[in-house]
């Protein structure tokens, strides 16, 4: 069982829709991440939140808008997506976001997003 919960598991949306992906963890972790994974490719980092503040945005288009309402929740708001945005979106968390502390990231099962 994963300790990082993502909803929904699947999402199909049109290019003009607005939807949100949700992620929740109750491990007391203070860093949360969004990754995008295309088929047969490794996950690629999109955003990092550290102590509820955005610390990294890996040049992600503005049609993806992250939000961290509190230390347990992470949302990804979607608007005007393109067909090439269809992918598996993974959320992860770790105790903190500092690499020197060697903390593994724990992943949710992802939301499989399809853009029509």
Partner 1 sequence: DQQVKQNSPSLSVQEGRISILNCDYTNSMFDYFLWYKKYPAEGPTFLISISSIKDKNEDGRFTVFLNKSAKHLSLHIVPSQPGDSAVYFCAAPLPTGANNLFFGTGTRLTVIP
Residues that bind partner 1 (CB under 8 A): 2, 4, 6, 31, 33, 40-45, 48, 50, 55-56, 58, 90, 92, 94, 96-100, 102-110
d(CA 111, CA 24): 13
Whichever of 63 and 106 has its CB closer to partner 1, that residue is 106
Measured from the CB of residue 16, what is the shortest distance to partner 1 in angstroms? 28
- Alpha-carbon distance of 22 to 14, in angstroms, equals 19
Q: Which is nearer to partner 1, 12 or 15 (CB)?
A: 12
């Amino acid at each position: 069982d994963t300790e990082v919960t993502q909803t929904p598991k699947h999402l199909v949306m049109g290019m003009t829709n607005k939807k949100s992906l949700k992620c929740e963890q109750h491990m007391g972790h203070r860093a949360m991440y969004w990754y995008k994974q295309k088929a047969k490719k490794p996950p690629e980092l999109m955003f990092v939140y550290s102590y509820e503040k955005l610390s990294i945005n890996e040049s992600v288009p503005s049609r993806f808008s992250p939000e961290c309402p509190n230390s347990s929740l992470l949302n990804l708001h979607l608007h005007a997506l393109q067909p090439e945005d269809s992918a598996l979106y993974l959320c992860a968390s770790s105790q903190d976001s500092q690499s020197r502390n060697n903390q593994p990231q724990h992943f949710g099962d992802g939301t499989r997003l399809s853009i029509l």
